[in-house]
């Protein structure tokens, strides 16, 4: 990653949007890294959960959007369970994913993708929830 | 309600400035009110506090007197049972006013108009919450002449 | 009834004669059929005029307060509910029970003259006699008989304590009550009414009040030297005929007998304008029985009254676990 | 109507900010009885008080109203000022227009209207105030210290040095508390027992100190200067005088099952035991649950072997009631239990210890006689991991929201001691923030890092996986962002400090309140840290909040100073707002007597004569020394015969009328 001059500008619309739909107050985080330490998927994450929150606090939303971590998060809620400051990190990362998905034209799951991935063992529900979440 | 009646109700609600008399026990809830002050919490100005040494000092006569003189709500705040500075004061408050509150409701007074709350000296925010909630419920009830002495006109 | 009257006159004569008592408190028959008025006699030959019939409703225990002040030994006739009141007066230290000799009178129930008038039987009525379930009306025209207790006072119909709980001499054998008393039906009926209807009902009832204070004067528990409502200096309430003053008096009167009222129903009986005051007292009795255990405000003198004591784990309707609360 | 002077305080901008002072002064001057109104920026200042004094003299004021901050702050200040000007102090009334008005309302117009209403209520009440003279009550010059830890010991010694009798009550068989369990103390690393045991011996031998160990508070009655405390001396089953402390019984006792509380369960002890060798008093106690004699009736070896014949199986609990002038609560703290912190495997792995267990492990008098070995296989560990803030700074329901203040320092000390004795052992400390604010504290912690090479890692441990005889510790270094896996041999958790579980029960007995974390509430966090709201009851040490030994000793000295200040007064000024009976109205029903918490009301016989016949009647009579002025009796009294001076029925009714004006 190239050195970027950090100017904390947390008035960005995406940041407001993330705060709104997640209802999480990121200022409560004291950077104790309990979430990253306990995260089973942290090995495959380029930005660890506590770093995601730090970046949010600094308003560096772009970096998070380009990261792989938010897609590797398995929503197992270990981080939320163990956070000593009662921050719902899993919910926050879900909010970040939704901010990306809900950007216009970015839907990740179009109807014509279906034939490619469907097989007889796949439950119907997977398609329905996939459309609901990833199709805009 | 017919439209005309509704207008009258709304208009009378606008000028309706409820008055709530709060008897606060000196050791716990009065200190809780002080803490609400020092922590700059906010509750409506309609609440007026009278200091009493203990919640067991408040007599049903004072409660009825307050309603007579135009109070829309009366609240007695004391220490949590067991924490009373005089060790058994609020046990008696609890018995007396459980019966008195039932009697008032039996005679037709809404339960929201007369409340007892246990607020300790460390619960500034509970004090503010209780007062705000009480005012909301009194506002919902709207103005009412119950128990009020018609000859006593309260300057708005 | 005559057997008990004779027994009553004998015991009165005997105790007056042997000096066990100086004065007897009983009833005498007035000239009207319903009038058995309370009387204080100390002369032996007056004992023959004592009477026990279906109209001896007056509770004699309250007279003891003034009579005992004359340092006399007093014999008094007490029915079931009167003996409850007697115990309350002892608890309140208003009477010195050593100087009282109690003649117990198990009470079959008293007849309500209003009900007799409603039934139109009072025309030319001379005398009413009751033996067991049979009631005999002796009128100028003839004799009419009725079975059952349809003429009894309401309060006697659901009487909880017909037999005196304390007495030195018992004048007749105990009366058994069969019908198990329903649980405060009159109170639950009012409780079911919607709030505004209740308010209107009671305000209408209270507005009838003329502040004659008969209810307070008859009540064995309202025995204060100077009642707070008579004491202008207390500045508690005034006699003005405004809704708030009436409500103030009646709510506070009911509250002052809370935990002590023996439900003898005298306040409603004597109220000249017929306000159902016993419904206020019984509401409190019902609440106390539910919340703090059944207190029979009569039998056990040592037990402290419900409002005079507490339990650490009393029912706490005010303990909403609001945010910030300790628990 | 008496001549009333009113003084409206600006309190800088605290009041003037949201209350229009001119409008208030104008409205107050029109109230009935007001002859003088003055507003000033700081009424509580010297100048402000002088304003009151001169006004009283010049205008012959008979009542004074101060509209300012809460009476709990400056009521005494203004009462003293009035007294200095010759006015009875109880004719002063304070209207709280700061905490209850200007600070809690934003709208200036509303706040001003409310301030005027509050002052009108104060005027109404003041006009009915009567002159009250405070009576004097005598003070029992003996103090009671609850808790035998360093806080209790230091308080007792300081009070005894001033020449007063002190009783110390300790629940466990010996005094010493947590400090006796510790090996070394920061920041000077001197041995804890070396600096504590001499003080324990001083306590035992001091002529003015009376020690009640293995005893608990049964009940507390009375009030400042006249506390009546009932102490339950639990049956020790050993005679205190006869026992010489030779220790034969504790060695020979066959029942070895019970875990030693003193050693945090790391070793077992006999049914008859002394907690630790330097115990004061050095007299064992029989743990009746595990003693064979009490359970099966067979054994009794200790009785046979005891040379002094001091064993008395028949001993019963003894209740002792004594009077005290002051009480100091020094009951200390506990470590939280870690059952909700499953990720650290504390419950199911012997090598995961709490910091207190670590202290016992490394202590020379500990279960391993100071040898630093792993409890699982008794081998010396190569890698030790310390974890800070276990349960502290945790707002979830698992832990405590506050910082326990002492863990950073004692963890640095423990880490340093390991590296000092065994330089080749690798030591890691996972922390969120190192907080070492005391004198020489930061230098001490930096020595651990710079001289002794303790690896401090900023980050929390996520999970610990037991693998073979190792403990794999998963953590993250938040500076570099790498996840770390350390194969540790031992993990020490710096568990949070919490209040004693029975603190609330003791608080209820003493009528002092505890906060939401069950620590005792001090009267004022900044200005009165060792006092409570109940006069005569003081706090010292960690029972008021987590703190280290230097602070505890400082608080102990402060509490002792307060007690000495109280006991040095032969007489105490009693609260004059007590009940008074109007004998004409009283009909002797004594329902007031039944509910008085202080039994301050008694029956009194009056001879009355109506129409020539004299007879006796009973009336209630208030013992002004015992009455604390709660006012419960005034409501129980139906005719209103008993009233509370300072808060009479008429005064409160006048306040209600004024507020609803």
Domain ranges for chain D: 4-127, 136-234+317-332+512-573, 235-315, 335-498, 579-645
Query: What does the pLDDT read at residue B155?
Result: 66
**Cβ B94–C310 below 8 Å, yes or no?**
yes
C113-132 pLDDT, tens digit each: 888 888 888 888 888 888 87
Domain hosting B119: range is 18-41+53-141
Higher local confidence (pLDDT), C216 or A129:
C216
How much is the average pLDDT of D358-366? 91
Burial class of residue D278, CB neighbours in 10 A (0-12, 13-18, 19+): middle
| D517 and D542 Cβ atoms separated by less than 8 Å | no
Query: Is pLDDT above 60 for B9?
Result: no
CA–CA min distance D527, chain A (Å): 30
Searching chain D, which residue's CA lies closest to the CA of residue B24?
Answer: D100
pTM for the structure as a whole: 0.75
Contact C307 D636 (CB under 8 A): yes
> What confidence score (pLDDT) does residue C325 get?
34
Contact with chain D for residue A51, Cβ under 8 A: yes
Contact C256 D636 (CB under 8 A): no
Q: Give residues 171 to 200 of C whose Cβ lies within 8 Å of D.
A: none
The rounded percent of chain A whose pLDDT value lies above 70 is 90
Interval D424-435: pLDDT, tens: 999 999 999 999
Contact D610 C69 (CB under 8 A): yes
The residue in chain A having the minimum alpha-carbon distance to the alpha carbon of residue D477 is A33
Q: How many residues does chain B have?
A: 156
ipTM of the shown complex: 0.78
**Among C94, C231, C236, beta carbon nearest to D585:** C231
Best B43, B64, B114 residue to mutate vs chain C (most C CBs within 10 Å): B64
Q: Which residues in chain A are classed under CATH 1.10.1060.10?
A: 13-103
* Most confident listed range (B6-15, D202-211, D571-580, D610-619): D202-211
**Domain D235-315 classified CATH 3.30.70.20?**
yes
Q: How far is CA C165 from CA C64, C102, C103, C126, C168, in A?
A: 17, 11, 11, 34, 10
The pLDDT tens digits of the residues spanning D108-142 come to: 999 999 999 999 999 999 999 999 998 888 899 89
pLDDT for residue D443: 92
- Integer Cα distance of A98 and D506 in angstroms: 53
Nearest-angstrom CA–CA distance, D516 and D54: 46
Which of D460, D472, D479, D482 is the mutation pick for testing A, counting most A CBs within 10 A? Answer: D460
Q: Do chains A and C touch (3 or more CB pairs under 8 A)?
A: no
Chain C residues within 8 A of B104 when measuring between CB atoms: 251
| Average pLDDT rounded to a whole number, residues A117-133 | 82
Chains that touch B (3 or more CB pairs under 8 A): C, D
What band does D386 get if pLDDT is binned at 50, 70 and 90?
very high
**Cα torsion C68, C72, C73, C75: sign:** negative
Whether A64 has its CB under 8 Å from any CB of chain D: the answer is no
Is B3 part of a structural domain of the chain? no
How does residue D224 score in pLDDT terms, banded at 50, 70 and 90? confident
Q: Which long-range contacts (CB under 8 A, 24 or more apart) does A76-83 make?
A: A76/A40, A76/A41, A78/A35, A78/A38, A78/A39, A78/A40, A79/A34, A79/A35, A79/A36, A79/A38, A79/A39, A79/A49, A82/A34, A82/A35, A82/A38, A82/D343, A82/D462, A83/A34, A83/A35, A83/D396
Write down the pLDDT at residue D535: 85
Residues of D in contact with C220 (CB under 8 A): none
Which residues of chain C make contact with B81, given a CB cutoff of 8 A? 312, 314, 316, 319
Query: What's D330's DSSP letter?
Result: -
pLDDT in tens, chain C (327 residues): 578 889 999 999 999 998 889 999 999 998 888 889 999 998 888 888 899 988 999 999 999 988 888 888 999 999 988 998 998 888 888 888 889 999 999 988 898 888 888 888 888 888 888 887 888 888 888 888 888 888 888 888 878 888 888 888 888 888 877 666 667 888 889 999 999 999 999 999 999 998 899 999 999 988 888 888 888 888 787 777 788 888 899 999 999 999 888 888 899 999 999 999 999 999 999 999 888 887 765 556 667 788 888 888 888 888 765 333 333
Q: What is the architecture, at CATH level 2, of domain A13-103?
A: Orthogonal Bundle (1.10)
| Residue C299 pLDDT | 58
Q: What sign results for the dihedral spanned by CA atoms A46, A48, A49, A51?
A: negative
A34/D460 Cβ within 8 A: yes
pLDDT confidence of residue C327: 33
A99: tokens are 């901010």
pLDDT of residue B14: 59
Q: Is C225 on the interface with D (CB under 8 A)?
A: yes
* Rounded Cα gap, residues D342 and D391, in angstroms: 12
pLDDT at B1: 40
D343 touches chain A (CB under 8 A): yes
pLDDT in tens, C219-247: 998 888 888 888 888 878 777 778 888 88
Residues C70, C22: Cα–Cα separation, whole Å: 11
Average pLDDT over residues D38-67: 93
Domain ranges of chain C: 2-170, 185-308
Facing C258 at nearest CB: one of B68, B99, B116? B99
Alpha helices per DSSP H over D306-367:
355-362
Interface test with C, best of B107, B112, B124 (most C CBs within 10 A): B107
> Strand order in D490-495's β-sheet?
D352-354, D490-495, D383-390, D426-431, D455-458
What pLDDT, on a 0 to 100 scale, did the predictor assign at position B3? 54
Q: What is the pLDDT of residues D434-470, one digit of tens each?
A: 999 999 999 999 999 999 999 999 999 999 999 988 9
Q: Three-state DSSP class for D105?
A: coil
Say whether pLDDT at A71 is over 90: no
Chain B contact present for D655, CB below 8 A: yes
What is the assigned CATH class of domain D4-127? alpha beta
* D and C adjacent (3 or more CB pairs under 8 angstroms): yes
- Dist CA C19 CA C13 (whole Å): 10
What is the mean predicted confidence (pLDDT) over D285-300? 88
Cβ–Cβ contacts within 10 Å for residue C222, how many? Answer: 19
- Looking at residue D212, its pLDDT comes to 94
Residue B72 in any domain: the answer is: yes
Secondary structure (3-state) at D265 = coil
Q: What is the CATH number of domain D335-498?
A: 3.50.50.60
Assign domain D136-234+317-332+512-573 one CATH number from 3.10.580.10, 3.20.20.70, 3.50.50.60, 3.40.1400.10. Answer: 3.50.50.60
Tally the domains of chain B.
1
Average pLDDT of the residues of chain B: 87
Q: Is the pLDDT confidence value at B49 over 90?
A: yes
pLDDT of A7 higher than 60: no
- Asked if D235-315 and D579-645 have one fold, the answer is yes
């Amino acid at each position: 990653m190239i050195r970027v001059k950090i100017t904390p500008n947390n008035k960005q619309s995406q940041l407001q949007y993330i705060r709104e739909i997640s209802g999480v107050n990121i200022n409560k985080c004291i950077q104790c890294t309990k979430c990253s330490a306990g995260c089973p998927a942290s090995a495959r994450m380029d930005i660890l959960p506590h770093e995601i929150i730090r970046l949010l606090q600094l308003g560096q939303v772009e970096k998070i959007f380009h990261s792989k971590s938010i897609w590797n998060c398995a929503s197992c809620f270990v981080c939320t369970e163990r956070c000593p400051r009662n921050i719902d990190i899993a919910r926050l990362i879900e909010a970040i994913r939704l901010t990306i998905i809900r950007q216009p034209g970015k839907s990740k799951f179009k109807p014509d993708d279906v034939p490619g991935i469907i097989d007889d063992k796949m439950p119907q529900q997977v398609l329905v929830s996939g459309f609901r979440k990833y199709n805009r | 309600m017919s439209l005309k009646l509704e207008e009258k109700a709304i208009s009378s609600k606008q000028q309706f400035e409820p008055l709530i008399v709060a008897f606060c026990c000196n050791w716990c809830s009065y200190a809780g009110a002080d803490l609400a002050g020092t922590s700059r919490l906010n509750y409506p100005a309609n609440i007026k506090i009278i200091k009493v040494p203990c919640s067991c000092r408040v007599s049903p006569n004072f409660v009825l007197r307050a309603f007579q003189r135009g109070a829309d709500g009366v609240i007695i705040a004391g220490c949590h049972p067991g924490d009373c500075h005089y060790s058994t004061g609020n046990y008696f408050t609890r018995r007396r006013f459980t019966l008195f509150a039932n009697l008032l409701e039996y005679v037709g007074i809404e339960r929201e108009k007369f409340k007892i709350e246990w607020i300790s000296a460390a619960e500034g925010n509970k004090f503010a919450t209780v007062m705000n909630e009480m005012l909301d419920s009194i506002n919902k009830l709207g103005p009412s002449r119950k128990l009020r002495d018609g000859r006593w006109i309260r300057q708005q | 009834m005559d057997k008990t009257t004779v027994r009553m006159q004998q015991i009165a004569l005997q105790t007056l004669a042997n000096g066990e008592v100086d004065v007897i408190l009983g009833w005498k028959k007035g000239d009207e059929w319903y009038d058995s008025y309370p009387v204080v006699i100390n002369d032996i030959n007056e004992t023959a005029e004592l009477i026990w019939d279906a109209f001896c409703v007056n509770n004699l225990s309250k007279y003891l307060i003034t009579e005992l002040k004359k340092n006399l030994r007093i014999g008094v006739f007490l029915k079931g509910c009167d003996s409850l009141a007697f115990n309350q007066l002892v608890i309140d230290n208003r009477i010195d029970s050593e100087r009282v000799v109690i003649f117990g009178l198990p009470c079959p129930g008293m007849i309500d003259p209003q009900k007799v008038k409603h039934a139109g039987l009072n025309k030319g009525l001379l005398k009413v006699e009751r033996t067991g379930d049979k009631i005999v009306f002796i009128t100028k025209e003839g004799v009419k008989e009725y079975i059952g207790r349809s003429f009894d006072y309401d309060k006697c119909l659901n009487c909880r304590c017909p037999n005196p709980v304390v007495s030195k001499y018992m004048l007749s054998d105990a009366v058994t009550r069969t019908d198990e008393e329903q649980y405060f039906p009159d109170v639950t009926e009012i409780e079911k009414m919607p709030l505004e209807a209740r308010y209107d009902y009671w305000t209408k009832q209270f507005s009838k009040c003329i502040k004659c204070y008969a209810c307070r004067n008859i009540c064995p528990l309202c025995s204060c030297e100077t009642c707070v409502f008579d004491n202008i200096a207390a500045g508690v309430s005034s006699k003005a005929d405004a809704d708030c003053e009436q409500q103030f008096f009646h709510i506070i009167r009911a509250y002052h007998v809370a935990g002590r009222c023996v439900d003898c129903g005298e306040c409603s009986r004597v109220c000249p304008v017929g306000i159902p005051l016993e419904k206020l007292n019984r509401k409190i009795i019902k609440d106390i029985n539910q919340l703090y255990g059944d207190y029979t405000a009569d039998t056990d003198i040592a037990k402290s009254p419900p409002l005079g004591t507490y339990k650490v784990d009393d029912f706490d309707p005010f303990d909403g676990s609001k945010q910030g609360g300790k628990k | 109507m008496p001549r009333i002077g009113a003084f409206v305080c600006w309190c800088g901008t605290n009041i003037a900010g949201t209350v229009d002072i001119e409008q208030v002064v104008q409205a107050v001057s029109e109230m009935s009885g007001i002859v003088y109104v003055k507003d000033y920026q700081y009424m509580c200042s010297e100048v402000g008080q002088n304003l009151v004094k001169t006004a009283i003299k010049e205008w012959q004021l008979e009542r004074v109203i101060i509209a300012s901050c809460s009476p709990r702050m400056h009521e005494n200040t203004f009462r003293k000022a009035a007294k200095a000007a010759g006015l009875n102090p109880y004719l002063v009334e304070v209207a709280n227009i700061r905490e209850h008005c200007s600070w809690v309302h934003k709208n200036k117009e509303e706040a001003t209207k409310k301030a005027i209403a509050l002052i009108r209520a104060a005027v109404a009440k003041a006009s009915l105030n009567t002159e009250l003279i405070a009576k004097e009550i005598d003070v029992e010059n003996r103090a009671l210290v609850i808790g035998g830890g360093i806080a209790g010991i230091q308080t007792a010694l300081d009070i005894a040095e001033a020449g007063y009798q002190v009783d110390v009550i300790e629940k466990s068989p010996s005094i010493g508390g947590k400090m006796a369990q510790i090996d070394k103390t920061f920041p000077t690393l001197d041995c804890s027992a070396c600096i504590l045991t001499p003080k324990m011996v001083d306590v035992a031998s001091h002529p003015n100190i009376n020690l009640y160990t293995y005893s608990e508070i049964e009940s507390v009655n009375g009030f400042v200067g006249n506390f009546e405390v009932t102490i339950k001396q639990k049956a020790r089953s050993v005679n205190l005088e006869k026992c010489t402390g030779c220790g034969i019984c504790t060695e020979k006792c066959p029942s070895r099952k019970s875990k030693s509380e003193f050693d945090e369960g790391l070793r077992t002890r006999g049914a008859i035991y002394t907690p630790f060798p330097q115990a004061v008093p050095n007299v064992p106690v029989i743990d009746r649950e595990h003693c064979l004699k009490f359970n099966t009736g067979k054994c009794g070896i200790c009785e046979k072997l005891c040379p002094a014949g001091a064993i008395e199986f028949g001993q019963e609990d003894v209740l002792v009631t004594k009077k005290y002038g002051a009480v100091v609560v020094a009951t200390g703290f506990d470590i939280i239990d870690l059952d909700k912190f499953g990720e650290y495997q504390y419950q199911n792995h012997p090598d995961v210890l709490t910091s207190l267990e670590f202290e016992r492990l490394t202590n020379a008098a500990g279960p391993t006689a100071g040898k630093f070995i792993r409890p699982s296989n008794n081998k010396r560990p190569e890698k030790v991991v310390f974890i800070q803030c276990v349960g502290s700074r945790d707002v979830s329901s698992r832990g405590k929201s506050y910082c326990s203040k002492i863990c950073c320092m004692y963890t640095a000390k423990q880490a340093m001691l390991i590296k000092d004795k065994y330089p080749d052992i690798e030591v890691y400390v996972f922390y969120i923030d190192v907080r070492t604010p005391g004198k020489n504290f930061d230098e001490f912690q930096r020595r651990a890092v710079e001289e002794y090479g303790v690896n401090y890692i900023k980050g929390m441990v996520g999970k610990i996986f037991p693998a073979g005889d190792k403990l794999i510790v998963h953590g993250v270094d938040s500076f570099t962002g790498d996840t770390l896996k350390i194969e540790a041999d031992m993990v020490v958790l710096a568990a949070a400090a919490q209040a004693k579980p029975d603190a609330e029960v003791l608080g209820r007995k003493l009528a002092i309140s505890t906060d939401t974390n069950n620590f005792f509430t001090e009267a004022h966090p900044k200005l009165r840290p060792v006092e409570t709201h109940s006069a005569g009851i003081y706090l010292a040490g960690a029972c008021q909040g987590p703190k280290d030994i230097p602070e505890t000793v400082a608080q102990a000295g402060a509490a002792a100073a307060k007690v000495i200040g109280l006991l040095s007064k032969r007489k105490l000024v009693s609260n004059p707002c007590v009940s008074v009976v109007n004998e004409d109205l009283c009909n002797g029903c004594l329902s007031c007597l039944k509910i008085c918490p202080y039994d301050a009301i008694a029956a009194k016989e009056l001879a009355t004569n109506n129409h020539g016949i004299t007879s006796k009647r009973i009336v209630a009579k208030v013992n002004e020394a015992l009455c604390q002025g709660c006012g419960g009796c005034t409501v129980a009294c139906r005719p209103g015969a008993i009233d509370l001076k300072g808060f009479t029925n008429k005064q409160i009714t006048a306040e209600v009328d004024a507020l609803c004006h």
